[in-house]
Amino acid sequence: MSTDHLSPESASEGETSWPLLPRERLWNRRALFIVLMVAASATWCYIIGEYVGYYLPLWPGFLAMTAGAMIGMLLVTLSVVPVSTRFGVDSIKAAVPQFGHNGWTITVTLQYLSIIGWNSLLLIFFGKSAAEFLNAIGIGGDSLSDVVVPVAAVLALAFVFVILMRGATGLERVAMWLFFFIVGVGAWMIIMLLVREGTALADAVPGFASDKQLDFQYGIEIGLVSLLSWWPYIGSMTREARSPSIAAGPSMLGMGLPVPVLSFVGLSSILVLGTSDPASWLTDVGGNFFGALALLFVMAANLGTATAGIYASTVGIKAVPALGKIPWNMALLLSVVPVAFVGIFLTDWFFDNFGTFLAYIGVFFAPIVGIQIVDYYLLRRQRISVRGLYVGGPDAPYSYWFGFNPAALLAMAAGVGTYLYLLNPQTYAVREPFSLLGASLPAALVAAVVFAVLTLVVVKPSGKGGYVEATAGSSKVTAG
């Protein structure tokens, strides 16, 4: 079918939740790899490494974190990438077959809260780095940091806003510029820490180390939940690629692997320097010149990631029916304002409660990926009605009951309950079998099993969810 006659304004419409057409999806493997890597590589890696460093020495910590991260990335890739790349839709639309037409109330809310959280953290780091950078080049002092941090945060958000007024094109261009900066200075920081602090690192003992198996599992879990938080981000970027094949490698190696690699910096520095924040040690360890240069990297990396996050959040907002027709820049503003509020007014509170935020990521996104994977691969056999993603009414395949799929809601509840039973997100107190299985994987598994059973026993026999069409291979269903 030819789509050449569609209006030239299609590019701007492409910023909505409508399917992007192949001619609008121009990112090849390399472009997607760079965008995803820039999106993943930010200062949050240092704080992720810091939390692992509370429990594990350097190499066990790095390896446990890497294992968890790659498992988490696999789950996110399997759950979002096929649908987003086949039909050019984002993570929120990709979840409609499981959660129903009104399921966006769950997924958009989680996406919004998650991205506000992560980007607030980036802004705080950005502000701190800017203040330290000014110190390093002889401007300002500690007394000015109270002013510099919020001002830098506002300027960063203004920069992101201007970049994203161009939509995904702006995101791609800024990513290309930041790529070499991030790779080069990130490698320099790792080498510098290993060379200058190698002996101390080998002897460093984690502050909260207790039982070997439990500590090891904390490392895996922290890596895993960190990567589960890519769920809301990834669809808005992989939809720019034309097929799952283009996105598989960039997703695993571009978005997954850089997180544990960069987290090595935070893990090392918390073990030997007592802080993971590069802004507070880069000039001490690297000297004023190299320290200032590295601080520029930290700021640049955060800008890249904040840009990707705000973009994903804005695309998600446009999936909300009441907000679908507001101008792109207005939706962009709705993404930016809460981040600015938290980043400027709740700085210390949010920074001090980052571990809780991280654990809550796992609470909600682990069940979501479990539900999506079992539904897409086992129950639907990779058959999705693209029309069903958009049409409503009682006969629409994904209308379920009042637009919600009770199987997904109950499976979410079961998954969340499982996670909370195994790991308390506020105290990090655990119940067995946490030390053997962690919390995210059992939560995903329980949610998947509950979803599958309820679907087979209740939903499918009721003729809801488009499962009959999918099995029969209706012409309105495309096969993967």
Under rule CB under 8 A, residue 198 binds other proteins = no
Phi and psi at 26, nearest 5°, equal -110, 5
Q: Is 63 in the site for other proteins (CB under 8 A)?
A: yes
Q: Binder to other proteins among 141, 198, 274, 392 (CB under 8 A)? A: 392
Q: How far is the CB of 159 from other proteins (least distance, A)?
A: 32
Per-residue contact track with other proteins, 321 to 350, x per CB under 8 A?
A: x--x--------------------------
Nearest approach in angstroms of CB 24 to other proteins is 10
Q: Which amino acid is at 383?
A: R
Please tell me what DSSP assigns to residue 101. T
Q: Which has the closest alpha carbon to 36: 85, 83, 109? A: 85
Count Cα neighbours of 184 within 13 Å in the Cβ-side half-sphere.
12
Q: List Cβ neighbours of 135 (8 Å cut-off, separation of 6 or more).
A: 141, 142, 283
Residue 450 sits in the site that holds other proteins (CB under 8 A): no
Q: Is the peptide bond before 433 cis (omega within 30 degrees of 0)?
A: yes
CB of 111 vs other proteins, minimal distance in Å: 16
Spatial distance between the Cα atoms of 109 and 425, rounded to a whole number of angstroms:
19
Q: Per-residue x/- mask for other proteins, residues 244 to 273, rule CB under 8 A?
A: xx--xx--xx--xx----------------
Q: Which of 319, 340, 359, 450 binds other proteins (CB under 8 A)?
A: 319
Binding footprint of other proteins, residue count (CB under 8 A): 68
The contact pattern for other proteins, residues 275-314, with x = CB under 8 A and - = no contact, is ----------------------------------------
Q: Which two tokens stand for residue 479?
A: 């096969």
**Which tokens is 441 given?**
């994987």
Judged by CB under 8 A, the chain residues 103 through 162 that form the site for other proteins are 104
Sign for the CA dihedral angle at 156, 130, 237, 449 comes to negative
CA–CA separation, 455 vs 408, rounded Å?
A: 9
Residue choice 12, 22, 287, 378 for contact with other proteins (CB under 8 A): 22
Q: Which residues contact 308 (CB under 8 A, 6 or more apart)?
A: 35, 38, 39, 171, 175, 233, 237
For other proteins, the closer CB: 39 or 148: 39
DSSP codes, 324-350: TTS-HHHHHHHHHHHHHHHHHHSHHHH
Asked if 6 interacts with other proteins (CB under 8 A), we say yes
CA distances to 70, 94, 122, 357, 392 from 353, in Å: 25, 31, 14, 7, 40
Q: Which stretch binds other proteins (CB under 8 A): 107-115, 333-341, 383-391, 423-431?
A: 383-391
Binding positions for other proteins, rule: CB under 8 A: 1, 3, 6-7, 10, 13, 18-19, 21-22, 57, 59-60, 62-64, 66-68, 70-71, 73-74, 77-78, 82, 85-88, 101-102, 104, 202, 205, 209, 212, 216, 219-220, 242-245, 248-249, 252-253, 256-257, 319, 321, 324, 382, 386-387, 390-393, 395-396, 403, 475-476, 478-480
